[in-house]
A = this chain, B = another copy of it.
Amino acid sequence: MKAHILSELGRRTEAPPISWLMATTLARPQLISLAAGFTDNESLPVKDVRRLLGEILCSPATGQAALQYGTTAGDPALRALTARHLQSLDGQPEAGRAYSPDRMIISNGSQQMLYMVTEALCDPGDIVLVEDPSYFVYLGILQSHGVQARGVPMEKDGLDLARLEAVLKDLKRSGELRRVKLLYLVSYYQNPTGLTTSFAKKAKALKLLREYERAAGHPIYLVEDAAYRELRFQGEGVKSTLSIKGAQERVIYAGTYSKPFATGARVGFGLMPEPVLTAVLRIKGNHDFGSSNLLQQLLARSLSTGRYEKHLAELRARYGRKAQVMRKALLEHFPPGVEWWEPDGGLYFWARLPERLASGPKSKLFQKVLASDVLYVPGELCYAHDPTRRKPNHEMRLSFGGATEANVREGIARLGAVIRGFLQSC
């Protein structure tokens, strides 16, 4: 047997697409990047953060508390404020059990929460159900842990439930159901499609999972990744899975303050039932025994002073404007035959080209677009390795988050021209 230097996990873990995209961006300073999930630089709350940190650090008592270790679960005040905030987003007047701060752990962005939940639940060979397409960094986590992903296609209002049921049936038939640990949903303004799963669909999906639990022999959790939830700029707010009766037994909710407040602050959180809660808390103890107290105090104070809500209102208006800029540019510059959904929030449009036009990293289209100094995320990077279907290769994720309005316009114009050229010639 060959001796390996790295562990199995070490060998399985792939370079994330994000590093390749970032390297490509850095190599071309003149590039218009419609790829990055960065938030808008201009929108970052520099003055707010300065004032809030100034307040925290102006007295020895609050200053020392912020610069000292905290607890592994996270600052109790931030957890209480976050619980109240979620209740209010869900329109729940009563302090329901599902929202209890005792069920909450603060993490380094929601990314770390997704990592720890996967560590706590999944062994190599296990199966996780994901939206098809899904958030590529989560797909990377699954891959590194040797977990298989099964994709469930999306409809305009979220997950295709008939297909979800078909996948569960198939897995039951093949005896693999006991390996299914969770369904992962990016439920609001999804990364990458911009689609939102309706409340009715989330409730039905949860019900469906419970129906298959007996055959699985253990709970099948619904992980709701609500990273983009607060970046809504149109449409109605949608309640989270936490508001479904009995959800506190099966829902793992992951949220973050990175996107709605400051990506450089990296504070996220998760709510979950036992025994996942205890397992994740112990894992967090081993990861770092608690996130930076200074950043947690910053977020707590931004929430308690109302600065958070004020900033968020500005942010939503800004992204709403930028989404409209991209929408208009798409209508003007993209040829017929290219489709997209209009998102109600978040940072992304998902453009679907005719199937004959490949958009992958090695495609002529991608190369030609890059030669015109525009970068997009090739759609195929957002599809799991799922042996039961071929990866679609004719889509692109277009972000209006990081680029200026002028660059969004110019980027889409150049991209449209290149696509038009390819469609005319083939």
Chain A interface residues (CB < 8 Å from chain B): 2-11, 13-16, 18-19, 22, 38-39, 41-42, 44-47, 49-50, 53-54, 57-58, 60, 63-72, 108-109, 111-112, 115, 119-123, 126, 137, 140-141, 144, 178, 216-219, 262-266, 275-276, 278-279, 282-283, 285-295
A49 and B67 in contact (CB under 8 A), knowing A10-B279, A120-B9, A285-B137? Answer: yes
Contact status A18-B285, CB under 8 Å: yes
Most B CB contacts (10 A, CB to CB) among A7, A66, A278 go to: A7
Which one of B9, B45, B275 lies within 8 Å of A67 (CB-CB)? B45
Contact status A49-B63, CB under 8 Å: yes
CB distance from A123 to the nearest CB of B (A): 5
Chain B residues whose C-beta falls within 8 Å of the C-beta of A42 in the assembled complex: 64
**With the chains together, A66 CA to B298 CA distance in Å?**
14
Chain B residues whose C-beta falls within 8 Å of the C-beta of A38 in the assembled complex: 68-69
Contact status A68-B19, CB under 8 Å: no
Number of chain copies forming the complex: 2
CB distance from A15 to the nearest CB of B (A): 6
CB distance from A14 to the nearest CB of B (A): 7
* Closest partner residue, chain B, to A181 (CB atom): B7
Most B CB contacts (10 A, CB to CB) among A41, A217, A282, A293 go to: A282
A-B contact pairs, 23 of them (CB 8 A): A2-B217, A4-B218, A6-B120, A9-B119, A9-B283, A10-B121, A14-B282, A16-B72, A44-B67, A44-B68, A49-B67, A50-B58, A50-B63, A53-B57, A66-B264, A111-B289, A144-B283, A262-B294, A264-B292, A265-B292, A265-B294, A266-B291, A287-B287
